[in-house]
Structure 1
């Protein structure tokens, strides 16, 4: 089904895989030359401004954000000197779509976005019109182009567009005409053969790939390049459905070869001029290769609590109690043993039953997915018991076509509810299941809490990821887990017709023309970023949280769901930091922060925080010169591997707002989370796996930290502060010159202010 070829592979004429050992005999070029024939290399080359393909400085063609990120991004850019959007910037409203959730009025954020689109020359997509990524597919993508989005699922590779999801500060850099700076990423080929059998959809293919590569880091921070004869056997919608899920592999980006099916996609959307045929060169070299036999993939399920926890549905049904027992053991790690969790009570007469089905968003809400689900459900009923089914088309044009071709009526007749374009079910702001309920979803993630449950309040529900087809087959059986391959009927495969008038009549498009006379409309919940100090010569850090999960998601660092309405309020949102993982974190961080505030006021930090007096006493035994004039005091957290999942910058900025100066980790799950730390002036420390030399509640002293950043030290000697100073080593990892300056200045805002 999935085979991993490590150590490099040549692709010759798009069809033949050749191992490096045979390259010389076949007269193939050296790997470094053949690597220039990948699609990824050439797109990056076209967008690189550095002149050095090892150290890239990328300028993107377009930007896109949604309404839990664009307020903070624009506020940061305004504080840094923004005058006009230099490239097309689309502001969609698909996350905080509901009028009032979590104690504030989200429409204030929308009006902020509309007035900013007018003032700075952007595009504004009102709530319920489209989810961010579907609008980008329909209206923004272009062959050979690059798009940067402030959502981790910014992936348009199937349309020939290399897209990346990053934290807000990276978009700020683009808005200020700066660059996205990275080393040339590795490129891993995804060689597809065959064609999917009936009942297998894009989510099945995606989950099979994620299950094969996530745990071993095979594609981490690399570009996935989809090639091979099997690509031609997939529709545009199918490719899009696989592509959007590449984010869950922890890859950097993705790109696919394009053909007449993608050309037709652009034509349908009235943008034929944006199509470009893309193929790797005659001899392309890849750093690794996944061979995907599409005909061997079967309906998949990702069990709680990660998209990589994958099984075939047939395998799950055949080994039900054993697999559920394993899921429970893994859940205790994810949930820190804070709450009892079981799915065994969902088993009746040897069959697994679920209470909810959701087909939604950028992954599930596509036209073909919904039509296929309707074919399976036609003439059936979801029943009048606990099971519910909700369908969210990804855009109003899709919704319109479903109404015109009768699919909408078919779904409604079954008892399903069809709703407007909204990302809520994917991050805990819509269709939250009942306590102990089990939901199956064609969406992007199934992390703990992400469906809306609140462990700290004793409420837990869980999500499994599945394809829309198998969700429909399960719904037709009133909640009994069923693979779509059991459906013996036919699929109608209706043609899609796009109605562009929907957007013409409702979406505000400045056409790139800014109007400086427009006054930005602020709501009372929209606040400026607080002042943030520059990095001191030395640091005293208190460890205020210690997390030993194998992976810590951004949803655990800053919860999604109802907290989203505070994303425009840095201080308000910070109150939720780690609230579902470590509820004591905020209080501990604030206790330490009073010392830094005292320093900024020219006062003695040990007077403001008396527990620092013995800390200073121990430090002075070796460093007597350390005092309020040359030290910073703040907090830090330790996590084994933080930052999997969402691109949201607030996972880092909330820590900084509360006085955080650093993270300490064995590794960072994604580049984007590490970048978020840096852009908010936080040190991304690394420490080897093994015995941790400190614990939660300990004070750490890091002398000469500013000098270490300035002089590009590889490592720093730090100390655990007790009755004596106990040394250990921290590494910083590779930092660009700009990243070092951002850390030295204290955050990205300070960095750009200093340039004026």
Structure 2
């Protein structure tokens, strides 16, 4: 029998179409689905639009974790819709405040060897348990919930061979920051990172989850660790020991690429503003005054992370001019912290404990003051994501954040003159499941005014010509395309209303110009659409009537979302063409675009103002071509029904 990587073993068990060859399109059977409250409403709306009768995956859970504070009755109304839809169609529902989706799901549901599709980009977290977790757009998730396969391009499987052991004051956060320092936010595009080597067994499951969580920031499809004795012990302390399966790569497995990481050589690192890959040793930023320190989110909100921060501040006091806020990622984490006496240490040091929510990570609460520095054990520091447009956000480990909170300035914890704390996980980390509701088919689905409709687009037109509505630069995130602040997020379940905020952080007049253009193009630079999986960033372009996006390159999930909503994604074949195209130019695809896509053409010619032309790449799988020609995935599936 041919030797296999761990990735190949898990994917082979779920493969229903295609071959596990990098770059080839594969179809996967999905075991579990994860939704949350800002992207989940669209998923359930699409599920209903596709007229599915019941959830077909083993598990489908909707978590209320972003709009926990319910600033507006519209948020509460949306949560009611999510609860009733989840229970009526055979899913589970996690109440507001119970915890962040990735944290609660790994505590309660994920199993080694499973496949999970999540309407959130950090679904990669599940790789810490030996599972394949992939973030995707809502239409793909809705289709999987209804029993359909998930289609994705088979990534290159990159072995990350770990040796050594983390030294004092270094952590899993430093491991992933080191990978970002080496490879950038684009270094993982089209890749899956599989962790191997003797260093693996030195990392706890929470540490592994921190690493897999942030492989999304590398642009990776996902990441996975083996399921080993560490995994068994962790599942046992969660009360789910019977879910354990031993899983690892064959000793002679071959990979598409290999990275070497000696854990003993890693030092405390920090991501400078305003990208996760702007990484330097924390010693280079030491001395920078810090106004705000935060620990939490799906990346560093586990019991292990917060207990570590508590051990650092025990017997100390937060600096007078610095605020230190910690948000446990789940009530289970908060409850265990209290049982173990860690909460008392935090309060005594002057730390504020917040509710279990994504909150501050997306600019919902704890927005920094102008001209201030915020240091966060989070996963992203994109400009403006904190809720302050001109923010200065740094990313680091809980150890660095806690040490800096005490000092009032960015601090290398190795300079504290004391031993690093040693935190072990309790044998019993169980708690009640009272806040997770199971299926109840008799439930009446209740839709309030917050729930809009998902438009069906017409088939792709033969001729596409229109103006360049706006021209954007590199690394435009989905936060830029559809903001995640309190005002806009309330409208995410109403695409027609949300369209008024599309791309306003790039071009404040974009919605008005798009409607006036009655078609047209968005032109963008490298890595367009990175970050969150939010499909609104593509859907709202369709609502505004935008024909397509021509970029130098795309982030994986956003590219798929554009196709799913019938918005044409093209790539400049020559970077000089991007430089020479300006806002207001008229772009026309020469010839019959629909026929060219149907014929499998890999390039089209685009004419600019009737004066000159450039070539644009059409990088689409056969299934994506079929979807785009139909006007998007919803139109395609409705026509097939």
2:492 paired with 1:567: yes
1:531 shift after superposition: 4.2
Cα pair 2:139 2:634 within 8 Å, conserved: no
Give TM-score scaled by structure 1 length. 0.81
Residue in structure 2 matched with residue 292 of structure 1 by the alignment: 261
What corresponds to 1:233 in structure 2? 202
Contact persistence 2:585–2:608 (CA under 8 A):
yes
Residue from 670, 675, 683 that aligns with 2:560: 675
Does residue 100 of structure 1 match 2:24?
no
Assess if the C-alpha contact under 8 Å between 2:304 and 2:425 holds in 1.
no
CA distance in 2: counterparts of 1:751 and 1:148, whole angstroms: 21
Q: TM-score under structure 2 normalisation?
A: 0.95
Q: 2:598 aligns with which of 710, 716, 723?
A: 710
Q: 1:316 deviation in Å?
A: 3.1
Partner of 2:337: 402
Cα pair 1:424 1:561 within 8 Å, conserved: no
Deviation at 1:139, TM superposition (A): 1.4
Out of 424, 428, 433, the position equivalent to 2:363 is: 428
Aligned equivalent of 1:47: 14
C-alpha separation in 2, matches of 1:753 and 1:183: 24
Query: Quick check: 71-80 or 532-541, which moved more?
Result: 532-541
Residue 4 of structure 1 corresponds to none
Gaps of 5+ in 1: 1-32, 318-350, 455-459, 594-632
Is the aligned partner of 1:650 residue 2:536?
Answer: yes
Alignment of 1:322-401 (within 5 A): 351-385=287-321, 387-401=322-336
Task: Specify the alignment match of 1:695 in structure 2.
Answer: 582
Q: Aligned residues, how many? A: 631
- What is the distance in 2 between the residues matched to 1:277 and 1:557? 42
Measure the CA separation in 2 of the matches of 1:499 and 1:228: 28
1:574-589 correspondence to structure 2 within 5 Å: 574-589=499-514
Q: Tell me the residue number matched to 2:398.
A: 468
Counterparts of 2:594 and 2:216, CA distance in 1: 34
Matched, 1:255 2:190: no
Between the aligned partners of 2:455 and 2:152, the Cα distance in structure 1 is 29
Aligned to 2:482: 558
Are 1:728 and 2:635 an aligned pair?
no
**Paired residues for 1:25-174 under 5 Å:** 36-50=3-17, 52-54=19-21, 55-87=25-57, 88-100=59-71, 105-155=74-124, 156-174=126-144
Paired residue secondary structure (1:534): coil
- The alpha carbon displacement at 1:532 in A equals 2.5
The match for 1:187 is 157
Deviation of 1:282 after TM superposition, in Å, equals 2.0
The alpha carbon displacement at 1:108 in A equals 1.0
**1:211 equivalent in structure 2:** 181
> In the alignment, which residue of structure 2 is the partner of 1:618?
none
Contiguous gaps of at least 5 residues in structure 2: none
* Separation (CA, whole Å) in 2 of partners of 1:531 and 1:251: 30
Aligned pairs for 1:502-541 within 5 A: 502-503=432-433, 505-510=434-439, 515=441, 517-541=442-466
**CA offsets per residue over residues 239-289 of structure 1, 9 Å max, x none?**
122221111111111111232111111111111121111221121111211
**Distance verdict in 2 for CA 1:524–1:497, change over 3 Å:** farther
Number of the residue aligned with 1:439: 374
Q: Which whole-Å CA distance do the structure 2 matches of 1:366 and 1:299 have between them?
A: 20
Q: Which moved more, 1:280-289 or 1:220-229?
A: 280-289
Cα gap change, 1:636 to 1:689, in 2 (>3 Å): same
Find the partner of 2:414 among 475, 481, 485: 485
- Contact 1:188 1:219 (8 Å CA) reproduced: no
CA gap of 1:399–1:157, structure 2 versus 1, over 3 A, is same
- Cα deviation, residue 453, structure 1: 0.9
**Residue 275 (structure 2) aligned to one of 287, 295, 306:** 306
* Shift, 1:534, TM fit: 2.2
Q: Which residue of structure 2 aligns with residue 29 of structure 1? A: none
Distance of 1:461 and 1:490 partners within structure 2: 31
SS of the counterpart of 2:607? strand
The answer to whether the aligner puts 1:664 opposite 2:631 as a matched pair is no
* 1:638 CA drift (Å): 3.2
**C-alpha distance in structure 2 between counterparts of 1:533 and 1:691, whole Å:** 30
Q: Bigger radius of gyration, 1 or 2?
A: 1
Question: What is the CA-CA distance between 1:686 and the residue it aligns to?
Answer: 1.0
Quote the residue 1:615 is aligned against.
none
Report the Cα offset of residue 100 of structure 1: 2.0
- Checking the alignment, whether the CA contact within 8 Å between 2:312 and 2:399 is kept in structure 1 is yes
Secondary structure in 2 matching 1:158: helix
- Offset of residue 741 of structure 1: 2.3
* 1:335 paired residue number: none
Whole-angstrom CA distance in 2 between matches of 1:445 and 1:59: 30
Q: Which residue of 2 aligns with 1:495?
A: 425
8 Å Cα contact 1:398-1:498 kept in structure 2? no
Q: CA deviation at 1:173?
A: 2.0
- Aligned in 2, Cα 1:524/1:581: closer, same or farther, shift over 3 Å? same
C-alpha change, 1:522 and 1:246, in structure 2 (3 Å) is: same
Shift of 1:421: 0.8
Within 2, Cα distance between the matches of 1:43 and 1:553? 31
